[in-house]
Amino acid sequence: MEPNQIVNFFKNQTLFLTGETGFVGKLILEKLLRETPEIKKIILNQPKYNKKNSKKCFELFKTKKIYISEKVFLVDGDCQDHFLGLSAQNLDLLREEVTCVIHAAANVKFDQSLKEAAFNVRATRDLLELAKQILNLKSFVYVSTAYSNCLNPHIREDFYNQPLKPENLLSVVNSLDNDVLTKITPSLLGPWPNTYIYTKSITEDLVKSASTSLPIAIVRPAIIVGSIKEPVPGWIDNFYGVVGIVLAASLGVLRSLNAKLDAIAPIVPVDYVANVIIAATCKT
């Protein structure tokens, strides 16, 4: 898509963005504020105890006349709570004003319990229910992962059969105590490598179901690393995955690594991912 198409699309739009404190979410927010000056409003869902964001990726704002306080609005909430922890008043606000939704919030830890990871399913379910009530919704983009269907040798732009229906997973998680759930988690996962990918896969079934009534799209990023260009080359806010391996090897801390030499690691810069998500919002 041409940049001017995207800029024109976001004129006078109100965007609800989840996951804005995350690695990708920060750059989505930064790029929209910097490149779509006529966007009407960006609403962020943040807990009362977390009102801060990384300043590093907003350094370019110092040289431009960008007034964040005029565009960004915070509503108290938490994606891990029922209906994102939003009050009745804030739910009404979103129903009436929002025109676009980018759902980038997720619990991305690979070693989390199934009960913790189930938040990925529950939050998306609640947000989709809210989206169905939004009066003037133009676009809903769900940020998944390329590994959500990793049992397939080649992943196409398509939906696949998921290991468990979302409502069944939530029923199991809600009805069992932690000890029992921990014991049966390996049998539930089966060939799936971890609870994060397992729940992201199941969540895609929710999106598929909602696609019949909502203008919706899925973006599946691969292994996300530091920026190649924006907001500055090499920007990153974590040392997970590949970045941690490279850093540890560079410092001499990591001397060996168990790996498959013929395995492909699809790596993508975070600013490419943010750009694709923003473009998908417009195209949807």
Kindly report which listed range (75-89, 118-132, 149-163) carries the lowest average pLDDT score.
Answer: 75-89
Among positive and negative, which fits the CA dihedral 269, 207, 138, 38? negative
Task: State residue 66's pLDDT score.
Answer: 67
Distance CA 213, CA 211 (A): 5
Query: At 268, phi and psi to the nearest 5?
Result: -140, 135
Query: At 139, phi and psi to the nearest 5?
Result: -160, 140
Contact 20, 44 (CB under 8 A): yes
Considering only CA atoms, which of 6, 4, 5, 29 is closest in space to residue 16? 29
Task: State residue 2's pLDDT score.
Answer: 79
At residue 273, does pLDDT exceed 50? yes
| CATH of the domain spanning 3-239+266-283 | 3.40.50.720
The amino acid sitting at 137 is: L
At residue 53, does pLDDT exceed 60? no
Task: State residue 49's pLDDT score.
Answer: 46
- Segment 217-223 mean pLDDT: 95
| Confidence bin at 284 (pLDDT 50/70/90) | very high
Task: State residue 65's pLDDT score.
Answer: 66
The ranges assigned to domains in the chain are 3-239+266-283
Task: State residue 140's pLDDT score.
Answer: 98
pTM, two decimals, is 0.91
Say whether the peptide bond before residue 269 is cis (omega within 30 degrees of 0).
no
Kindly report the number of other CB atoms within 10 A of residue 260's CB atom.
7
Environment class of 222 (CB within 10 Å of its CB; exposed 0-12, middle 13-18, buried 19+): middle
* Bridge partners, 101 (sequence order): 16, 140
Greater confidence, 9 or 238?
9
Distance of CA 205 to CAs 137, 149, 163, 210, Å?
Answer: 21, 11, 10, 9
- Segment 69-74 mean pLDDT: 86
Share of the chain above pLDDT 70, in %: 93
